[in-house]
């Protein structure tokens, strides 16, 4: 909440998600969550929506019209989402998404970027995802965001 980068290391079921969901809920803008597990993303979205917290996700395997609707909402004058979950592959392969994120930043609506399951960033880890290599190198992630969170479970 104070604008500093955060690294969270907690066991499975320890409440890591709350460390970024609560600040996202009370902040004026949107929190981008990059997560490698679509099933986990869908579960998080379901629980957030049940709690009346506006959230959405984008992944490479979604139908384009569904993605367009979410991206259109992101560029609207008043973005309705508090959290947007994306897969690392979506970030790595979608220039359109990056432009929308840059637009959110320019409007001072991109509050934080979360790398969930951060152990996947390491190419030596057993869960290595090649598109996580692209994600942190993007200029957007280092020069345009006010808060950067890494969330690692064990």
| Domains identified in the chain and CATH numbers | 6-153 (3.40.50.300)
Give me the pLDDT at residue 56, please.
Answer: 95
CA 135 – CA 145 distance, rounded (Å): 13
Mean pLDDT on 100-115 = 85
The structure's pTM equals 0.80
* Count of CB atoms situated within 10 Å of the CB of 16: 20
Give me the pLDDT at residue 118, please.
Answer: 65
Mean pLDDT on 82-100 = 86
Give me the pLDDT at residue 131, please.
Answer: 58
Mean pLDDT on 32-56 = 91
Mean pLDDT on 77-105 = 85
pLDDT digits (tens, 9 = 90+) for 60-89: 788 989 988 998 888 888 788 999 999 888
Pairing of strands 55-58, 30-34: unpaired
Give me the pLDDT at residue 142, please.
Answer: 42
Mean pLDDT on 40-61 = 91
Give me the pLDDT at residue 52, please.
Answer: 94
Give me the pLDDT at residue 37, please.
Answer: 82
Mean pLDDT on 8-32 = 81
Winning range, highest mean pLDDT, from 52-61, 92-101, 136-145:
52-61
Residues 6+ apart with CB under 8 A from 50: none
pLDDT grade, residue 104 (50/70/90)? confident
Closest to 148 (Cα-Cα) out of 18, 32, 22: 32
Give me the pLDDT at residue 22, please.
Answer: 85
């Amino acid at each position: 909440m104070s604008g500093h980068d955060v690294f969270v290391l907690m066991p499975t079921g320890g409440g890591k998600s709350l460390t970024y969901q609560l600040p996202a809920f009370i902040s004026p803008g949107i929190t981008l969550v990059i997560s490698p597990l679509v099933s986990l993303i869908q579960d998080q979205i379901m629980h957030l929506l049940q709690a009346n917290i506006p959230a959405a996700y984008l992944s490479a395997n979604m139908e384009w019209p569904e993605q367009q609707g979410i991206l259109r909402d992101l560029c609207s004058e008043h973005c309705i989402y508090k959290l947007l979950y994306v897969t690392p592959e979506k970030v790595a392969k979608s220039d359109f998404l990056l432009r929308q994120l840059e637009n959110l930043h320019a409007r001072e609506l991109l509050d934080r970027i979360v790398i969930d399951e951060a152990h996947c960033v390491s190419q030596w880890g057993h869960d290595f995802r090649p598109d996580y290599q692209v994600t942190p190198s993007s200029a957007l992630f280092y020069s345009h965001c006010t808060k950067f969170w890494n969330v690692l479970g064990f």
